[in-house]
Amino acid sequence: MAKKANVAELKEITHLNIIESFSEFKEIKSIDKATLMNVIEDVFKAMLRKRFETDENFDIIVNPDKGDVEIWRNRVIVEDDKIENPNTQIAYSEAIRIEPDFEVGEDVSEPVNFMDFSRRAILAVRQNLSSRISQLEKETLFKKYKDKEGDIISGEVYQIWKKEILIMDDEGNELILPRTEQIPSDFFKKGDTIRAVVLSVEMNGTNPVITLSRTSPSFLERLFEMEVPEIFDGLITIKKIVREPGERAKVAVESYDDRIDPVGACVGVKGSRIHGIVRELKNENIDVINFTTNPTLFITRALNPAKITSIKIDEATKHADVYLKPDQVSLAIGKGGHNIRLAARLTGYEIDVYRDAENYTEDVPLDEFGDEIEGWILDALKSIGCDTAKSVLELTVEDLAKRTDLEEETIKEVQSILRKEFEG
């Protein structure tokens, strides 16, 4: 075992205080200590190889907590006239000046004095080390967020530009939220806390670019996982999500436990669970529906809140013709066409809607017959709850006469007028 020189007797303690040049080492929390020590060791080995042509007989001791590096050179003691390699061998006369009781054949370790290296060599070490650490930080950041793709993170708005927002996470890393990934009604100011999902992590040259999104379906999916324990626990599965950010979303869910109502669990008592999600999404309307492999039933549910009369499906072309009562067509299409577009994306079918004129004619309010029927008669009918033409035609003459005290002849004339509205 090598005997170390008495450090106390050396004129200089051979360690390099790298705090001055690399004070950031102690602040680096993203890189584990073992990796950091390996990088520092590699950099100094490169310096030794350049100076001594080898690093095999050197021990490098790194203390990243203090920012200290010590390098010890190990040499074998040989007789003064038998030195062949001064890098690996030391003359006996030199060795006993370090420690008087050294003998030929023993190993001696002595510290390397960095003052013996040129200023250029020390500067090269510092630059190389700084570059390696910087690149390692970038690689570590890339891996950290690559593993987080699809997860929700929180950050603070640091800078707002026209096309994107710069966000800082709790470790000071820069994240980007493009305008295209923001909900149209989003409004943030500097210092605001923002929640978004990690959309993508790419390398731009040597720099990681971390892009966030609030419009991605996965953002809504993660919010459901946070609000609905049954989803987080795997008792309920989200089969598919489609969104028109800030307007409407449709979420198909399925339960693997017959005792659990997936829709009810997602909505919560009086909407308690879904309200928080809606607020986060700037009042985006969210339809939660039961998933089914039955295309007719799935399309019917997807077009909620419209009530469908019938559906004709072409499986080969993935096309569905949906028939509805006239007053349900606008509900099926939805404001700005959001409902039908989302239903088509959710089910995978191209959907066309038609008015079902054969089975349904639109009702007409009684007040529209004021030119043909006297007002006091209309009032008598409305007093018993008959305020539309069809509600009057659905009752018999005898029933109407009994309930309104109107003459039967009068009622027959009224029904005749009303019936003509639906003929032809």
How are beta strands 58-63 and 107-111 bridged, if at all? unpaired
Residue 97 has pLDDT above 60, yes or no: yes
pLDDT band at 357 (very low <50, low <70, confident <90, very high): low
Distance CA 84, CA 95 (A): 16
Asked if 227 and 233 touch (Cβ cutoff 8 Å), the reply is: no
Q: Is 205 exposed, middle or buried (0-12, 13-18, 19+ CB in 10 A)?
A: exposed
List the structure tokens of 252: 């198909």
Residue 424 has pLDDT above 70, yes or no: no
Q: Tell me the CA distances in angstroms from 10 to 61, 98, 415, one per residue in order.
A: 18, 8, 120
List the structure tokens of 95: 């060795």
Q: Is 129 exposed, middle or buried (0-12, 13-18, 19+ CB in 10 A)?
A: buried
- Residues 64/69/71/72 CA torsion (nearest 10 deg): -70
List the structure tokens of 249: 């979303």
pLDDT, residue 118, reads 67
Q: What is the mean pLDDT of residues 144-149?
A: 94
Q: Tell me the CA distances in angstroms from 101 to 58, 80, 93, 98, one per residue in order.
A: 23, 16, 11, 9
DSSP lists the bridge partners of residue 290 as: 253
Question: Average model confidence (pLDDT) for the chain?
Answer: 85
**Nearest residue to 152 via CA among 99, 71, 205, 216:** 216
Tell me, letter by letter, the H, E, C secondary structure of the chain: CCEECCHHHCCCCCEEECCCCCHHHHHCCCCCHHHHHHHHHHHHHHHHHHHHCCCCCEEEEEECCCCEEEEEEEEEEECHHHCCCCCCEEEHHHHHHHCCCCCCCCEEEEECCHHHCCHHHHHHHHHHHHHHHHHHHHHHHHHHHHCCCCCEEEEEEEEECCCEEEEECCCCCEEEEEHHHCCCCCCCCCCCEEEEEEEEEEEECCEEEEEEECCCHHHHHHHHHHHCHHHHCCCEEEEEEEEECCCEEEEEEEECCCCCCHHHHHHCHHHHHHHHHHHHCCCCEEEEEECCCCHHHHHHHHCCCCCEEEEEEECCCCEEEEEECHHHHHHHHCHHHHHHHHHHHHHCCEEEEEECCCCCCCCCEHHHHCCCCCHHHHHHHHHCCCCEHHHHHCCCHHHHHHHHCCCHHHHHHHHHHHHHCCCC
pLDDT, residue 248, reads 94
pLDDT above 70 as % of the chain: 89
Distance CA 168, CA 155 (A): 5
Residue 21 has pLDDT above 50, yes or no: no
Backbone angles phi, psi at 49, to 5 degrees: -65, -35
Residue 126 has pLDDT above 50, yes or no: yes
Q: What is the mean pLDDT of residues 329-336?
A: 87
pLDDT band at 281 (very low <50, low <70, confident <90, very high): very high
pLDDT band at 221 (very low <50, low <70, confident <90, very high): very high
**Nearest residue to 366 via CA among 386, 395, 340, 337:** 386
Q: How many residues does the chain have?
A: 424
Other Cβ atoms closer than 10 A to 4: 16
pLDDT, residue 173, reads 92
Residue 345 has pLDDT above 60, yes or no: yes
Other Cβ atoms closer than 10 A to 94: 16
Cα angle 176, 177, 178 (rounded to 5 degrees) comes to 105
pLDDT, residue 15, reads 39
Distance CA 400, CA 381 (A): 8
pLDDT, residue 231, reads 94
Cα angle 407, 408, 411 (rounded to 5 degrees) comes to 90
290-305: pLDDT as tens digits: 999 999 999 999 999 8
249-265: pLDDT as tens digits: 999 999 988 889 999 99
Q: What is the mean pLDDT of residues 59-63?
A: 79
pLDDT, residue 359, reads 53
**Nearest residue to 4 via CA among 72, 69, 85:** 72
* pTM of the predicted protein model: 0.66
